Amino acid sequence: MMSHSEQQTLEIAAEFAATLKGGEIVFLEGDLGTGKTTFVRGVARSMGFEEPVRSPTFTIMNRYPVSQEQIKELLHLDLYRIEDSKELQTLALEEEVGLPRTVTFIEWPVRAQEWGIQPSHEIRFETGPEGHDIEINEKTTV
Ligand SMILES: Nc1ncnc2c1ncn2[C@@H]1O[C@H](COP(=O)(O)OP(=O)(O)OP(=O)(O)O)[C@@H](O)[C@H]1O
Ligand SMILES: [Mg+2]
């Protein structure tokens, strides 16, 4: 769907957030500045997290505590600077990513995929003359 403003992206993200049950792993695909972080901010805001939500490019991973019935923490990763998936070892992702009380969002997820992390959702962001396009795909599990 097409977003014509940052506000509209926040609203689309809030609608998506309402479908989350916990344990989801969301890959965010798309070029620089297409709205990936804005989308995560919309999810976090809709769950009552009011502090800054920025791309964790240097810190790799941010944590946003939320007090939803089932979801207690959002994990927000940006792997843009990770050149080798072995660099992910120190994060001990397997201890948290995919747990029922967390929802994980990963910008630039290719290294995570190499590390063996499978997404429950893939969201594609593309900016064009019409606006910012957001395409949400739920991955079917076998
Ligand atoms: N419809 C829209 N949806 C989202 N962002 C928009 C929209 N229109 C304009 N913008 C602007 O585009 C920028 C998107 O930046 P954002 O940080 O969300 O991108 P990103 O995909 O996370 O980039 P990066 O890969 O560098 O982390 C923001 O400055 C935002 O205000
Ligand atoms: Mg970003």
* Domain ranges within the chain, ordered by starting residue: 2-138
Beta strands in 5-120 (DSSP E): 25-29, 61-65, 73-78, 102-107
Confidence at residue 140, expressed as pLDDT on a 0 to 100 scale? 80
Residue 57 Cα to ligand 2 midpoint, Å, equals 8
- The list of the chain residues with pLDDT below 50 reads none
Q: What is the pTM of this model?
A: 0.97
- The residue whose CA is least distant from atom 24 of ligand 1 is 32
Query: Which of 64, 83, 62 is closest to 73 using CA atoms?
Result: 64
- Fold category of 2-138 in CATH: Rossmann fold (3.40.50)
In DSSP terms, 133 is beta-bridged to: 2, 126
Ligand 1 pocket, Cβ-based, cut-off 6 angstroms: 3-6, 8-9, 30, 32-38, 55, 78, 107, 125, 131-132
Best of 34, 43, 134 for a ligand 1 pocket test (most atoms within 8 Å of beta carbon): 34
Rounded-to-10 torsion of CA 114, 115, 121, 122: -30
What pLDDT, on the 0 to 100 scale, is given for residue 142?
61
Half-sphere exposure of 54 (CA within 13 A, CB side): 6
Cβ-in-10-Å burial (0-12, 13-18, 19+) of 70 comes to: exposed
